[in-house]
Structure 1
Amino acid sequence: METALQEREPVKARLATRPLGFFGSLRAARTNLLEILPAIAVTQPMVSGRTGVRWHMVMDPEALRRILLEKVDDYPKSVVTKNLLRPAIGESLFIAEGAHWRWQRRAAAPAFSARNIGALSPVMTAAADASSDRIAAAGSRAIDVHLEMVRATFEVISDVTLSGEGRFDRESMHRAIDNYIDVAGRVSLFDIAGLPGWVPRPGRVISGNALKKMKAVADDAIAKRGAGSAKSPPDLLDLLMAGEDRETRRRMRTPEIRDNLLTFIVAGHETTALTLAWGLYLCAFAPEVQEAAAEEARRVLGSRTARAEDLPALPLIRAIVDESLRLYPPAGLLSRTARTADTLCGREIRAGDTVMIPIYALHRNRLLWDRPDAFDPQRFRDGTPVDRYGYLPFGDGPRICIGAGFAIQEAVIILATLLARFRFRAVPGRDPKPVLIITTRPEGGIWLTAEPRPDPDRPRAAA
């Protein structure tokens, strides 16, 4: 199996082989941010340049440790990142800095404890079952598993954030989120030129109606919970409303609850859906891995659906999730703005410089990974593959993604269930293209056929 995997590589992005210039960079930033990454980013620890502003791309683990952990306050989220996302999620955990971020993080952290995440797992199990039923109903027709995984994970995130809201229009909310990402999530000429955030960006003005719908749904849910309709067990909205910063005794007000709720809804389904979709593509790409994973899942699950308590017995499924996050990280590029002068990899960093962390290039860097473009989940079963700061699907340091445990649990539950029940095959001529706008999406979808596997609990007929 290992030899076969060494000879083949799944689809990858086309990186820049020459300087793009100002307008070339703008074009790439609006259509596929992966194409602004220079090809040498997968062979070097750091690359620098200037396109309107001075920028640096960092792929060196020690430098990344400095940015994300040791001097995190000196490298806040970039102005471009804030301009893209602030209209939708305000000064939530993803955007806030300094003391305002710290108290929110402390208040929200209990909601994502292992105990609370485990209590929400029945919702994930139900979504895995529903997804399995929809895939089975497609019969022999090819399906876009990206769209199916988006539907499944949106069912999860809406149920664990807005469970029981009778007037909640799930489809309308999802369309509003998708519209905002597609229209307003693209870098504009004003962003590349370094214009301040108060200068209106046309795309974000156009998407105003989508934002109003998203915020109205969240505000309505918060108001209803305030009237005493808490769930049992509590969902994420209940836990956010009850959360308190132990140091300051501060609790979130309605605007802060809404902004963080929308952050979890937007990020909590999109990123996991992409991990699952790319994971199914990789399993179809490598049938030998898929069969081994299916055998593991069927041995543990039989004909039932996966649950949270099954995760320790599904190491190969977990490794496929980890390898999917390596090859196609949902957050393929992070961006920071240097607040003070510094030195990284022996190079001068000036205050105001843009410091990018190209996760996509980091995860394929030849200085860090053996056969970096190959699909080989075994690398995550043989111990730590590289320096901790060489693998950053959820970031790291104090600002590591608060929902990482939630996402991994959901992805393993759904992936194990589907691989136990179906054999996925790629549709010839329909290879996906990795495209990064805000997240690393498969342009054109991921089209697979799904052949039902025999029920492992049903006795076989005598020969």
Structure 2
Amino acid sequence: MTDLKPHRQPVQVPLVTRPLGLWGSLQASRRNVLSIIPEVATRQPILSGKTGKRWHMVMDPPAIRRVLLENLDAYPKSLVTKNLLKPAIGESLFIAEGAHWRWQRRTAAPVFGHRNVMNLAPVMSAAAGRSVDRIRAAGPRAVDFLEEMVSVTFDVISDVTFSGDSTFDRDGVHSAIDAYIAEAGRVSLFDLLGFPDWVPRPGRAFFAGGVNQMKQMADRAIEARAQRDPNTVPDLLDLLKAGADPETGRTMSTAELRDNLLTFIVAGHETTALTLSWSLYLMAFDQEAQTRARAEARSVLNGGVAGGEDVPNLPFIRKVIDEALRLYPPAGMVSRTAREDDTLCGREIRKGDTVILPIYALHRHHALYDDPHAFRPDRWEKKPDRYAYLPFGDGPRICIGASFALQEAVIILATLLANFRFAPVRGRDPDPVMILTLRPQGGVWLEAEPL
């Protein structure tokens, strides 16, 4: 049973309108860390308070620019954030600071250049085609498209990373990642506010065995790479192995290769899967926009599957993805620890204060967006302030794989829209909940009618 009539606004996180106190905030954050954001954060440039230690929520684009660009070294990622992720991805690009981060970034940046990303487009197209086949085979019934999008994006990232090497246990790594995200990703309020590590975190359990297994499998695949045919199209592992820091000539060790590859695998499939899941939810929510997006896809695609060369010719589908990333940013909130005294929005920031960038509230800020809770892809005719829209972060630490992720999302979404008409399932709206990333809790249940 479907309901084709869209609601007035797509689903959103109910932000708090009254002080919760420490216990209330802790209880709320255990279910959904975004639910502790005050509604007034969508109307003010900065909010400050003290919950054990001083904190500041910053929603002002110039102040955010200072944190992410102008005074970057004064706002490192919090120690808790690093300790949360380090068991899985070591001192990789995502966690490293200072000189150790810079040489890795210089080495990896050419890997994600336009030419290399375009060379990987056929892998994305092939995975999109397999997704179409799976959805058709499911028959006329509701499908959880969160699960399907996780499958298709993991297909992509494992193939572009390890080229389907038999030494890479795809199912084993996938299971280990899911277990790690489910447990380590339950960010507590204590983490967000930068409490020290010795403060107990209720309910946290690191799946050390699964993480170690994941690392061992990646190490084996890296070491076996010497037997690969040198005439094949290079994948991410080949490109990283061949890469060197242009300033020092330093290359990555096996451990450094593994940690960065696992970073790309974990981040690369999870965030794109979420972007696609929310985009499909919005397409079912707004049938008029879906019809328009489908017409664009079918006018461009040859054979029903999008390719890399089609991406520039799918501007409305790109707008749908941009709007999905605005409404449901994968990283809905990030925190930094002030390393020195500073001033943001005229507010005193002291060394040791926690500075929170509530991306979810920033993207729905009434001073930055008209009708901010509404799904309006055409708002992307005009780009917002650069620091008012941060699905991939910004500054020197902007997500290195942003162009890869956007190309993949456009290829897969266009392919699905060209082949199916999507309708929502009554009573099965997803619930936006942040557990490490902003996920549609309960899944994205849609009916897909083949065309």
Give the TM bin, normalised by the shorter chain: over 0.9
| 1:165-314 paired onto structure 2 within 5 Å | 165-188=165-188, 191=191, 194=194, 196-197=196-197, 206-226=206-226, 232-314=232-314
Provide the secondary structure at the position in 2 that maps to 1:436. Answer: strand
Provide the secondary structure at the position in 2 that maps to 1:109. Answer: helix
Give the RMSD, CA atoms, in angstroms.
Answer: 1.9
Partners in 1 of 2:252 and 2:198 — Cα distance? Answer: 26
Provide the secondary structure at the position in 1 that maps to 2:232. Answer: coil
Shift of 1:188: 4.5
Change (3 A) 1:230 1:96: farther
Provide the residue aligned with 1:445 in structure 2.
443
Partners in 2 of 1:363 and 1:67 — Cα distance? Answer: 17
Provide the residue aligned with 1:75 in structure 2.
75
- The answer as to 2:373 corresponding to 1:369 is no
Change (3 A) 1:230 1:38: farther
Provide the residue aligned with 1:395 in structure 2.
393
Shift of 1:197: 4.2
Provide the residue aligned with 1:158 in structure 2.
158
Contact 1:112 1:403 survives alignment (8 Å): yes
Provide the residue aligned with 2:126 in structure 1.
126
Provide the secondary structure at the position in 2 that maps to 1:368. Answer: coil
Which residue identity lines up with residue 440 of structure 2 in the other structure? Answer: P
Structure 1 range deviating more: 191-200 or 328-337: 191-200
Partners in 1 of 2:450 and 2:166 — Cα distance? Answer: 35
Which residue identity lines up with residue 449 of structure 2 in the other structure? Answer: E
Partners in 1 of 2:203 and 2:318 — Cα distance? Answer: 38
Deviations 1:353-373 (A, max 9, x none): 110111110000001000100
Provide the residue aligned with 2:347 in structure 1.
347
Which residue identity lines up with residue 312 of structure 1 in the other structure? Answer: P
Contact 2:327 2:360 survives alignment (8 Å): yes
Provide the residue aligned with 2:32 in structure 1.
32
Partners in 1 of 2:78 and 2:184 — Cα distance? Answer: 17
Contact 2:158 2:164 survives alignment (8 Å): no
| 1:20-59 paired onto structure 2 within 5 Å | 20-59=20-59
TM-score, normalisation: structure 2: 0.95
Partners in 1 of 2:28 and 2:214 — Cα distance? Answer: 29
Which residue identity lines up with residue 112 of structure 2 in the other structure? Answer: F
Deviations 1:34-56 (A, max 9, x none): 11111111111111111122111
Partners in 1 of 2:12 and 2:164 — Cα distance? Answer: 41
Contact 1:6 1:374 survives alignment (8 Å): no
Which residue identity lines up with residue 447 of structure 2 in the other structure? Answer: T
Contact 2:306 2:412 survives alignment (8 Å): yes
Structure 1 range deviating more: 226-235 or 111-120: 226-235
Contact 1:76 1:97 survives alignment (8 Å): yes
Partners in 1 of 2:89 and 2:337 — Cα distance? Answer: 20
**Given the alignment, which residue of 420, 433, 436 partners 1:435?**
433
Which structure 1 residue ranges, 5 or more long, are not aligned?
Answer: 454-463
Partners in 1 of 2:91 and 2:340 — Cα distance? Answer: 22
Provide the residue aligned with 1:88 in structure 2.
88
Partners in 1 of 2:135 and 2:6 — Cα distance? Answer: 31
Structure 1 range deviating more: 159-168 or 174-183: 159-168
Deviations 1:111-148 (A, max 9, x none): 10000000001000001000011111122100000100
Which residue identity lines up with residue 375 of structure 1 in the other structure? Answer: F
Partners in 1 of 2:431 and 2:242 — Cα distance? Answer: 43
Change (3 A) 1:376 1:6: farther
Q: Percent identity of the aligned residues?
A: 65
Which residue identity lines up with residue 356 of structure 1 in the other structure? Answer: I
Deviations 1:84-110 (A, max 9, x none): 111111111010011110000000011
Which residue identity lines up with residue 284 of structure 2 in the other structure? Answer: A
Shift of 1:23: 2.7
Provide the secondary structure at the position in 2 that maps to 1:441. Answer: strand
Partners in 2 of 1:224 and 1:203 — Cα distance? Answer: 38
Contact 1:15 1:38 survives alignment (8 Å): yes
Shift of 1:423: 0.4
Provide the secondary structure at the position in 2 that maps to 1:57. Answer: strand
Contact 1:52 1:194 survives alignment (8 Å): no
Provide the residue aligned with 1:460 in structure 2.
none
Shift of 1:231: 6.8
TM-score, normalisation: structure 1: 0.93
Structure 1 range deviating more: 205-214 or 419-428: 205-214
Deviations 1:351-392 (A, max 9, x none): 111101111100000010001000010111x222x2111011
Shift of 1:201: 6.1
How many residues end up aligned between the 2 structures? Answer: 447
Change (3 A) 1:12 1:229: same
Contact 1:6 1:371 survives alignment (8 Å): no
